[in-house]
Amino acid sequence: QVHLVESGGGVVQPGRSLTLSCEVSGFASSSYGMHWVRQGPGKGLEWVAVIWSDGSKTYYADSVRGRFLISRDTSRNTLYLQMNRVRAEDTAVYYCARDRSDGNYGGDYWGQGTLVTVSS
């Protein structure tokens, strides 16, 4: 049974850093690409980043490129999102999602989300 659990959310001050984790189970994490998607309060879904199944490629939304870093530790079955220099507009529920394949096909299973609030 595919399962994804995000953690690491909370309140963070503007300009500071925060790292989100997504622990996966029920599948071989090295065989699938992984995405981060966020949803601001009362807003729609916004794609944030993807890492390819073999880790060879990472892509970012323009709004986070240069500030956020997606990575994975397959030995720990864990995906990460390092968020640096956070801004008020980064406030959102952050979801991790497994890609249907290597990273190019969108998420088929999603975690329950973790809330990040950027506030002083």
Partner 1 sequence: DIQMTQSPSSLSASVGDRVTITCRASQTINHYVNWYQQRPGKAPTLLIYAASSLHTGVPSRFSASGYGTDFTLTISSLQPEDFATYYCQQTYSIPPVTFGGGTKVEIK
| Cα gap 116→26, rounded to integer Å | 26
Whichever of 30 and 112 has its CB closer to partner 1, that residue is: 112
| Smallest gap from residue 44 Cβ to partner 1 (A) | 5
| Smallest gap from residue 16 Cβ to partner 1 (A) | 25
Whichever of 16 and 57 has its CB closer to partner 1, that residue is: 57
| Smallest gap from residue 10 Cβ to partner 1 (A) | 19
Whichever of 74 and 115 has its CB closer to partner 1, that residue is: 115
| Smallest gap from residue 120 Cβ to partner 1 (A) | 27
Output the CA torsion sign for 98, 47, 6, 113: negative
Binding site for partner 1 (CB under 8 A): 35, 37, 44-47, 50, 59-62, 95, 100, 104-113
Whichever of 27 and 110 has its CB closer to partner 1, that residue is: 110
